[in-house]
C-alpha cells in the first residue's frame, strides 16, 4: 500500500514584537523602553539606551503609529464620508482633499455610504472610534441625527456640496444656481427651446434641490422675452431605463418642431441619458441636446463629445480640507460658505440642427 505523503503546514508568521518583548530582551522596564522611543535618551544611561536599541533591532520592533499618536492626544486622521464613491464627483473631491491633508501632515479615512442615507450616523460613529480629529462630509444630508452626532463629538466639520438641515458648519460647494444658468443660456443660444432638467431623486438633497429650483427660475425668467421656451423636470432612478426612454420620447413630442435638450444633474445621470439615446437610436446634438454636470475623462469621447459644466472638484476638496485645518488650529469664526463657479465646455452634444432635421418619433 503506497504511503501517503504529508505536506508540511505553511509556516505561520512570527507574532509582532511588543514593547513588553523589547523590555524583556533588554532587561529593563516598559517605561524605560517608552522613554527611549519618545527620544528621551537623556533620562537613560548610555548602557541602558544601548541595550534597548540593540533589543529593538534584534526583534525588528516598530511602534504602532496610531498608539503613539493617541498618546500624544493627536491621531492626525481626518474622516471623510462620501455619498457614493462610484460618482466621479466624489472621487475627484476626495483627491483634492487628500492632497491638502497630506501636505498638512494628515491622513484621510474614507467611509462610503453607497447612497444609503441610513448609514450616515454609522459612518460618523465608526470614524469617531478611530479618533479622527475632524470630519469632511459629502453625504446625502437626509439624516439630521448624523449631523448632530458629528457636532456632539466636538470635532470640527466641513460640508461639501450637500447641506445638512440646521447644521452650523463651514460649507464648500459649486455655485449651483450660476452653473444651471450657464448651461441653460448655452442651450437657448444654440436653439434648444424645449428643455428638461434630469436628476437623481431630488427630495432632501440640497444640491439637487438648488439645481432644480435654479432651472425653474431660469425658465420662468427667460420666458418673459421668449414665450416659446418650455421646461420640465424628470427624476431618474437607477433601474428605470424604460421610464427614462419614455420621458425623452415625451420631451421630443412636446417640442413639436422645436429643438429638445436635457440638462443632467451629474455624470451618473449623463451616462443614463447616453444609454437611453443608444436604445432609441437618436443622435446627440441633432435629435437631443445634452449638457451634463461634471466633466469626466470620458466626456470628450462620447458621440460627438459631451458639453459639460466642469466643477472645480480639486479646489473644492482642497478648500474643504483647508477650512478644517484652520478650525483644528483654533480658528473661531461663524460658519463660512464658499461657492465656486463652474465652467462650461461646449462640445458636439449641443451643436443644434435645423428644426426640420428633427426626426419624427
pLDDT tens, the chain, 361 aa long: 444 445 555 555 567 788 888 899 889 888 888 788 766 556 688 888 888 888 888 888 876 655 555 555 577 899 999 988 888 999 999 999 999 999 998 999 999 998 887 888 888 888 888 889 999 999 877 666 666 677 677 889 999 998 887 778 899 999 999 999 999 999 999 999 999 999 999 988 899 999 999 999 999 999 888 889 999 999 998 888 899 999 999 999 999 989 999 999 999 999 999 999 999 999 999 999 999 999 999 999 999 999 999 999 999 999 999 999 999 999 889 999 999 999 999 999 998 654 433 333 3
* pLDDT reported for residue 148: 67
The dihedral region occupied by 114, where left means phi > 0, alpha psi between -120 and 50, and beta the remainder, is left
Which residue ranges make up each domain of the chain? 19-63, 77-174+314-342, 176-311+344-357
Question: How far are the Cα atoms of 56, 59, 60, 61 from residue 14, in angstroms, in the given order?
Answer: 15, 11, 11, 12
What is the Cα 240 distance to its own chain's centre?
Answer: 24
> Where do we find the cell 436653439?
191
pLDDT confidence of residue 322: 96
Sheet holding 337-340, edge to edge: 107-112, 77-82, 134-138, 157-160, 170-174, 337-340
pLDDT of res. 361: 37
What is the dihedral angle through the alpha carbons of 290, 294, 300, 304, rounded to the nearest 10 degrees? 0
Fold match flag (77-174+314-342 vs 176-311+344-357)? yes
The C-alpha angle 45, 47, 50, rounded to 5 degrees, equals: 110
Buried-exposed string 3-25: b where 16+ CB fall within 10 A, e elsewhere: eeeeeeeeeeeeeebebebbbeb
C-alpha cell at 27: 532587561
| 3-state secondary structure (DSSP) of residue 82 | strand
Q: What is the CA radius of gyration of the chain?
A: 28
Please give the C-alpha separations between residue 152 and each of 128, 149, 275, 333, in angstroms, as whole numbers. Answer: 11, 5, 44, 19
CATH number of 176-311+344-357: 3.40.50.2300
* 259-264 β-sheet, strand order: 230-235, 192-199, 259-264, 289-293, 307-310, 343-345
What is the dihedral sign for C-alpha 37, 42, 45, 46? positive
pLDDT on residue 119 = 86
Nearest to 322 by CA among 131, 160, 142, 198: 160
The whole-number pLDDT of residue 3 equals 47
Beta bridge partners of 292: 264, 308
Please give the pLDDT value at position 121.
Answer: 84
Nearest to 137 by CA among 179, 173, 166, 104: 173
What fold, for 77-174+314-342?
A: Rossmann fold (3.40.50)
What is the reported pLDDT for 13? 57
Amino acid at each position: 500500500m503506497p504511503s501517503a505523503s504529508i505536506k508540511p503546514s505553511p509556516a505561520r508568521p512570527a507574532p509582532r514584537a511588543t514593547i513588553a518583548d523589547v523590555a524583556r530582551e533588554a532587561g529593563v522596564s516598559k517605561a524605560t523602553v517608552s522613554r527611549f522611543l519618545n527620544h528621551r535618551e537623556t533620562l537613560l544611561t548610555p548602557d541602558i539606551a544601548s541595550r534597548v536599541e540593540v533589543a529593538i533591532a534584534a526583534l525588528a520592533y516598530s511602534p504602532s503609529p496610531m498608539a503613539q499618536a493617541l498618546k500624544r492626544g493627536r491621531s492626525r486622521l481626518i474622516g471623510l464620508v462620501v455619498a457614493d464613491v462610484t460618482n466621479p464627483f466624489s472621487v475627484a473631491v476626495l483627491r483634492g482633499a487628500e492632497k491638502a491633508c497630506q501636505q498638512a501632515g494628515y491622513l484621510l479615512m474614507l467611509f462610503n455610504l453607497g447612497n444609503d442615507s441610513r448609514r450616515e450616523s454609522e459612518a460618523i460613529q465608526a470614524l469617531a472610534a478611530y479618533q479622527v480629529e475632524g470630519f469632511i462630509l459629502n453625504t446625502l444630508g437626509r439624516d439630521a441625527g448624523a449631523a448632530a452626532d458629528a457636532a456632539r463629538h466636538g470635532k470640527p466639520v466641513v460640508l461639501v456640496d450637500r447641506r445638512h438641515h440646521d447644521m452650523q458648519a463651514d460649507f464648500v460647494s459649486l455655485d449651483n444656481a450660476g452653473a444651471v444658468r450657464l448651461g441653460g443660456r448655452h442651450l437657448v443660444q444654440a436653439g434648444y427651446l424645449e428643455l428638461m432638467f434630469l436628476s437623481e431623486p431630488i427630495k432632501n438633497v440640497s444640491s439637487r434641490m438648488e439645481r432644480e429650483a435654479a432651472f425653474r427660475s431660469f425658465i420662468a425668467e427667460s420666458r418673459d422675452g421668449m414665450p416659446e421656451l418650455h421646461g420640465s423636470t424628470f427624476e431618474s432612478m437607477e433601474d428605470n431605463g424604460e421610464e427614462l426612454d419614455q420621458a425623452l420620447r415625451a420631451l421630443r413630442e412636446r417640442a413639436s418642431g422645436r429643438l429638445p435638450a436635457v440638462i443632467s444633474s451629474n455624470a451618473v445621470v449623463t451616462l443614463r441619458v447616453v444609454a437611453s439615446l443608444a436604445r432609441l437610436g437618436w443622435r446627440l446634438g441633432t435629435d437631443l441636446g445634452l449638457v451634463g454636470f461634471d466633466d469626466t475623462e470620458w466626456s470628450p469621447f462620447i458621440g460627438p463629445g459631451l458639453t459639460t459644466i466642469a466643477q472645480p472638484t480639486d479646489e473644492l476638496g482642497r478648500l474643504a480640507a483647508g477650512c478644517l485645518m484652520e478650525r483644528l488650529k483654533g480658528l473661531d469664526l461663524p460658519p463660512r460658505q464658499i461657492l465656486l463657479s463652474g465652467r462650461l465646455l461646449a462640445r458636439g452634444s449641443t451643436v443644434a440642427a435645423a428644426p426640420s432635421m428633427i426626426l419624427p418619433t
